[in-house]
Amino acid sequence: MPTGLILTVNDEPIRTEGFVKAFVILTVSGMIESLKGTEAPNDLTLSIDGSKVKLNLNGKTIPTNVFASKIIRATMFGMVSVLKGVSETRKLTIEIHK
């Protein structure tokens, strides 16, 4: 399982550890692995800016359709909205590294 996590919301770093770190890694990894043609993440960057979702998995760009993008965006924005230091989410970047 990947163990490194970098989370930024609106270009501000959000500190994560313990439960939150593991929860974000497992949630994002599981969601991405469920997409057709993907594999377990060693290196994953998920960027959301407005309604635009970009995924880079193990050095490859992974396209998402409108439906998948909406689910990923809503899930991620909902998840980070309860974290300390987050008020309004416009932009989100999650990096997971093994």
What is the helix, strand, coil percentage profile of the chain, to 5?
30, 30, 35
- Tokens 């969601």, residue located: 31
Average pLDDT over residues 81-91: 88
Handedness of CA 70, 63, 54, 20 (dihedral sign): positive
Cβ neighbors of 45 (< 8 A, separation 6 or more) are: 54, 55, 56, 93, 94, 95, 96
Number of domains, the chain: 1
Statement: residue 35 has pLDDT above 60: yes
State the DSSP H helix or E strand holding residue 45, giving kind and residue range, or none if neither.
Answer: strand 43-49
State the pLDDT at residue 1: 57
How do residues 69-85 score in pLDDT, each as one tens digit? 999 999 999 999 998 88
- Mean pLDDT, residues 7-23: 92
Q: Domain range for residue 34? A: 4-97
pLDDT of residue 2: 57
The dihedral built from the CA positions of residue 30, 17, 80 and 43, taken in this order, carries a sign that is negative
